[in-house]
Amino acid sequence: SKNYKIAVLPGDGTGPEVIAEAIKVLDAAGKKFGFSTEKKYFDWGGEHYLKTGETLPADAKEQLSKHDAVLLGAIGHPDVKPGVLEKGILLKLRFDLDQYINLRPVKLYPGVETPLANKKPEDIDYVVVRENSGGVYTGMGGNVQIDTPDEVACQNWVYTRRQVDRCLKFAFELAEKRHTKENPWRGLSEEDKKAGYTSQLTLVGKTNVLTYVCGLWERAFNAMAKNYPTVKTAYCHVDAATMWMVKNPEWFDVVVTENLMGDIITDLAAMTSGGMGVASGGNLNPTGLSMFEPIGGSAPKYTGRNVINPLAAIGAAAMMLDFLGEKEAAAAIDRSVAYVTGNKLKSMAAGRMGYSTTEVGDLVVENL
Amino acid sequence: SKNYKIAVLPGDGTGPEVIAEAIKVLDAAGKKFGFSTEKKYFDWGGEHYLKTGETLPADAKEQLSKHDAVLLGAIGHPDVKPGVLEKGILLKLRFDLDQYINLRPVKLYPGVETPLANKKPEDIDYVVVRENSGGVYTGMGGNVQIDTPDEVACQNWVYTRRQVDRCLKFAFELAEKRHTKENPWRGLSEEDKKAGYTSQLTLVGKTNVLTYVCGLWERAFNAMAKNYPTVKTAYCHVDAATMWMVKNPEWFDVVVTENLMGDIITDLAAMTSGGMGVASGGNLNPTGLSMFEPIGGSAPKYTGRNVINPLAAIGAAAMMLDFLGEKEAAAAIDRSVAYVTGNKLKSMAAGRMGYSTTEVGDLVVENL
Ligand SMILES: CC(C)[C@H](C(=O)O)[C@@H](O)C(=O)O
Ligand SMILES: CC(C)[C@H](C(=O)O)[C@@H](O)C(=O)O
């Protein structure tokens, strides 16, 4: 039976509480599906930074690389200047481990309240593939003449063809694989189906303004499309994409986009599918070490109260298992989560679930 | 009695149809409120480009500058490569006329359907001040080694302190002015009110990633805030902003942001307040020539069918009057539009209004 080495970074605020539930579910799934996990805990985060002045140790990458996956709670501390921990831990790990894909499933679970009118679970079920290594996130740029009337600030939005291609390849393959007879994309027209398409991949960009960068994305996208004849391609400007995500989320299947646009639209998407309590993300290096996280943040005001929603962290653990190859276990957790949201929880919001954090973890275990 | 010279650019697709209704309302408002308008029509747009190869004549700026304001229909033609007309006409005019503010009121009119659950007109009533002259819109950058594996694309996101300051000044003044006893900001807490605040200005950025550019915005914002003691300031990352615009639009009063982020969030905002049929924008040069437009695009498939919704164009005309100083007329048009949406129109969507384009224009005139 398989054993996976998991690096666990519970992090700040409510991070440790939600991670504890994710681990509980992970262990139960292991028992049921015949695998085990060996966890090593790392205390990196805001507390550690305040005590030591260190965001990550110099050999963080080396330490983590001994593992099969990383499970992250939340990074963010009210006493640390915004930006320090994000850049020093979260973004640094993404870059150093070359986790060039940020995978964000957007799925409205049964019973989960969406701020959108008249949308049901079958209307909101798509995946965003966000490029996670380039763009403005590289931090190239600078300021001159700071705080004078002549100050100029510049930030470079940079992509290489290689970066774009490897992200697009992942997205096309995901689109190709995502669809089975049981899970056809609901939005394909009869004509599309007759033409042999089984899925859709939408590139989100801003080609009419970001001529150089989105021009590269568009050319690479169109060139690669030829290799995936069953994937219908579409293009959408980022401004319009936010509209359709709110008005017609059922139009989307797999979406691929660059880093900052992906950051923006995935937060919006998370909100449309019930908010931060249930949204998980994977920072993937398909040939290396990947890191999975609930995307909600450290929620300091709920810390230690056993009221935070752990489902996003549990979802992150399920994504991790899926990525490690434990497909059945991942699917079982997903079904259990859907059962719990559909039949148990009163709300997804902290303190209003009708259950405590630990009870929600127990419910997911019971219904595995 | 005053006379205003208006340059009218009906543009493409349904542009001429909606502009005709806006002009109808403008003329009726002039009669009622004692001003007149002298219109000069310009045929710039997709048709003109296809015939002549010219987007704008070399002396476009000179020609327009003889006017007090510009009223634009829509630019965009199915037979013209995307980007050509946007860059060659819309963006070029914004830049050449230094229209450094893009003002986008976000207001849910009575009777207008929003895709958001449980939101009412009193919940959605804010204004976005989008910087309209800088950022990635300057088009600085390039591609090297095009279509080789070594291609690099770069786009520069650039701001000067002067650009940022003039935009922030406009936003702070707007926030200060926007609030009257009859129109208090509904979201201020009792504590805020006791502290003497009457309005709120939210800066939207991404300071944790765009350290240089958003750092400049944040420093300039905090420095300027001291001059506006009644304006409570707030900050929101752009990704989170999209969430709150959907979940808690009642939190926003005046929002200020840079160009691309403004482009993205204003489209989302337009959708939450009923979509493109009712959203107007002003491209403002507060000391020069300004241009007002419905933001919906040219909607080619509805062209010539007398089914498109003209309310966004009528709203653009009202914004123009407000900007020209005809406050009473502008407010009267706004009230009439609210009456028409609340009591007459079945839907805001083209072809489903229960009235034709021209009838909707007539209704607004009748109820002035
Ligand atoms: C914390 C921040 C740097 C991060 C990002 O912008 O990527 C977050 O918003 C996310 O989406 O994971
Ligand atoms: C057409 C396009 C260039 C334009 C923009 O990006 O500014 C549009 O989206 C807008 O918001 O007016």
pLDDT in tens, A227-274: 999 999 999 999 999 999 999 999 999 999 999 999 999 999 999 999
CB–CB of B344/B355 below 8 Å?
yes
Taking residues B346-350, report their average pLDDT. 95
Q: Which chain A residues are closer than 8 Å to B102 by Cβ?
A: none
**Is the confidence at residue B66, as pLDDT, over 70?**
yes
User: Residue A183 has what pLDDT?
Assistant: 67
Q: What is the pTM of this model?
A: 0.97
Which atom of ligand 2 approaches the CA of A206 most closely? 6
CATH at residue B344: 3.40.718.10
Q: Distance (Å, rounded) from C-alpha B214 to C-alpha B227?
A: 21
Residue B93 to chain A, least CA–CA distance (Å): 15
| Structure confidence by residue, pLDDT tens digits, B288-330 | 999 999 998 899 999 999 999 999 999 999 999 999 999 999 9
Q: Is there a single domain that holds both residue B20 and residue B82?
A: yes
Q: Whats the size of chain A, residue-wise?
A: 368
Side chain identity at A301, as an amino acid letter? K
Q: Distance (Å, rounded) from C-alpha A235 to C-alpha A300?
A: 39
Q: Which chain A residues are closer than 8 Å to B157 by Cβ?
A: 136, 141, 154-157
Q: Distance (Å, rounded) from C-alpha A81 to C-alpha A53?
A: 12
| Structure confidence by residue, pLDDT tens digits, A69-110 | 999 999 999 999 888 999 999 999 999 999 999 999 999 999
Q: Distance (Å, rounded) from C-alpha B127 to C-alpha B178?
A: 10
Tell me what percent of the residues of chain A surpass a pLDDT of 70: 98
d(CA B272, ligand 2 centre) in Å = 18
Report the chain A residue with the minimal C-alpha distance to residue B259: A209
Domain containing A341 equals 1-101+282-368
Residue B141 resides in a domain: yes
Tokens representing residue A78 in the block: 């009210």
Residue B109 resides in a domain: no
Residue B105 resides in a domain: no
User: Residue B228 has what pLDDT?
Assistant: 97
Residue A109 resides in a domain: no
| Structure confidence by residue, pLDDT tens digits, A300-352 | 999 999 999 999 999 999 999 999 999 999 999 999 999 999 999 999 999 99
Q: Does any ligand 2 atom lie closer than 6 A to the CB of residue A243?
A: no
Q: Distance (Å, rounded) from C-alpha B269 to C-alpha B104?
A: 9
pLDDT band, very low/low/confident/very high, at B62 (cuts 50, 70, 90): very high
| Structure confidence by residue, pLDDT tens digits, B268-287 | 999 999 988 899 999 999 99
| Structure confidence by residue, pLDDT tens digits, B163-189 | 999 999 999 999 998 877 666 676 788
Indicate the helix (H) or strand (E) that contains A92: helix A92-96
Q: Whose CA is nearest to atom 7 of ligand 2?
A: B263
Q: Is there a single domain that holds both residue B120 and residue B256?
A: yes
Residue B230 to chain A, least CA–CA distance (Å): 25
pLDDT band, very low/low/confident/very high, at A276 (cuts 50, 70, 90): confident
Q: Is there a single domain that holds both residue B160 and residue B227?
A: yes
Using CA atoms, how far residue A216 sits from A205, A226, A264, B144, B156, in Å, is 10, 16, 20, 10, 15
- Give, in degrees to the nearest 5, the angle at Cα A246 between A240 and A251: 75
Q: Distance (Å, rounded) from C-alpha B93 to C-alpha A64?
A: 53
Nearest to B239 by CA among A296, A84, A236: A296
Q: Distance (Å, rounded) from C-alpha A352 to C-alpha A184?
A: 35
Which atom of ligand 1 approaches the CA of A259 most closely? 7
User: Residue A181 has what pLDDT?
Assistant: 65
Residue A14 resides in a domain: yes
Q: Is there a single domain that holds both residue B220 and residue B131?
A: yes
Which atom of ligand 1 approaches the CA of A266 most closely? 11
Q: Does any ligand 2 atom lie closer than 6 A to the CB of residue A118?
A: no
- Which residues are CB-neighbours of B173 under 8 A, at least 6 positions away? none
User: Residue A182 has what pLDDT?
Assistant: 64
Indicate the helix (H) or strand (E) that contains B40: strand B35-41
Residue B107 resides in a domain: no
Q: Does any ligand 1 atom lie closer than 6 A to the CB of residue A270?
A: no
User: Is the CB of B157 less than 8 angstroms away from the CB of A136?
Assistant: yes
Mean pLDDT, chain B, rounded, equals 95
Q: Is there a single domain that holds both residue A138 and residue A209?
A: yes
Total domain count for chain B?
A: 2
Indicate the helix (H) or strand (E) that contains A225: helix A211-225
Which of A273, A293, A309 delimits the end of a domain? Answer: A273
Tokens representing residue B226 in the block: 């001291």
Which of A273, A304, A334 delimits the end of a domain? Answer: A273
Q: Is there a single domain that holds both residue A54 and residue A5?
A: yes
Quick one: how far is CA A340 from the chain centroid?
21
Q: Is there a single domain that holds both residue A148 and residue A253?
A: yes
Q: Is there a single domain that holds both residue B162 and residue B190?
A: yes
A259 half-sphere exposure, CB direction, 13 A CA radius: 24
Q: Where are the alpha helices (DSSP H) in A34-85?
A: 46-52, 60-64, 84-85
SS3 (DSSP) at B47 = helix
Nearest to A90 by CA among A42, A141, A136, A45: A45
Residue A106 resides in a domain: no
Q: Whose CA is nearest to atom 3 of ligand 2?
A: B86
What's the 3-state SS for B214-240? HHHHHHHHHHHHCCCCCEEEEEEEHHH
Nearest to A147 by CA among B92, B216, B360: B216
Q: Is there a single domain that holds both residue A141 and residue A225?
A: yes
**Is the confidence at residue B82, as pLDDT, over 90?**
no
- Looking at all shown ligands, the one closest to residue B214's CA atom is 1
Residue A190 resides in a domain: yes
Q: Is there a single domain that holds both residue B33 and residue B160?
A: no
Which atom of ligand 1 approaches the CA of A267 most closely? 11
Q: Is there a single domain that holds both residue A149 and residue A287?
A: no
User: Residue B181 has what pLDDT?
Assistant: 65
CB–CB of B224/B172 below 8 Å?
yes
Q: Distance (Å, rounded) from C-alpha A277 to C-alpha A310?
A: 7
Which of B255, B273, B291 delimits the end of a domain? Answer: B273
Q: Which chain B residues are closer than 8 Å to A158 by Cβ?
A: 152-155
User: Is the CB of A246 less than 8 angstroms away from the CB of B271?
Assistant: yes
Q: How many CB pairs under 8 A join A and B?
A: 198
User: Residue A118 has what pLDDT?
Assistant: 92
Q: Is there a single domain that holds both residue B310 and residue B356?
A: yes
pLDDT band, very low/low/confident/very high, at A188 (cuts 50, 70, 90): confident
Mutation for testing the B interface, residue in A212, A222, A261 having most B CBs under 10 Å: A212
**Is the confidence at residue A184, as pLDDT, over 80?**
no
